[in-house]
Amino acid sequence: MAVFTIPAPGGENNSNYLIEVDLDGVSFVLSLRYNGRMGSWVIDLLNSNGEIIRSGVSMVSELPLFLRVVDIGRPAGPVMVLNIADKEINAADLDQFGGDALLMYSGET
């Protein structure tokens, strides 16, 4: 099983962006945006054609983000926000994401 970091530049200038990523040989688009009212990040999962598989998922640390997605098109392994800081982070804020909290994937390859 391979674990890798999905590049996710956080910070004020990167509060809304798309990431094209290959997960176990399948292409996905991740749409990430910072929700100032919630004080945390939200993620959408799209297939390579831009069709939404799941949208509006709160990026809570240490939990598989798409665990409850039943669609057969979802990633085979878990996508998670991993807290690498020595402080408690439930949901990464604007500055923590991409630094103290990383977007990770654990899959076959």
User: In the chain, where are the structural domains located?
Assistant: 2-107
* CA dihedral for 82, 87, 90, 91, sign (positive or negative): negative
DSSP 3-state assignment of 98? coil
Side chain identity, residue 21 = V
Provide the pLDDT for residue 52: 95
Q: What is the mean pLDDT of residues 63-82?
A: 88
Its pTM stands at 0.84
Task: Pick 57 or 89 by higher pLDDT.
Answer: 57
Task: Pick 109 or 82 by higher pLDDT.
Answer: 82
Q: What is the mean pLDDT of residues 82-86?
A: 77
Task: Pick 82 or 79 by higher pLDDT.
Answer: 79
Q: How confident is the model at residue 13 (pLDDT cuts 50, 70, 90)?
A: low
Side chain identity, residue 98 = G
pLDDT at 64 over 70: yes
pLDDT at 24 over 80: yes
Give the E-state strand segments of 1-109 in sequence order: 2-6, 16-23, 26-35, 40-47, 52-58, 79-83, 101-107
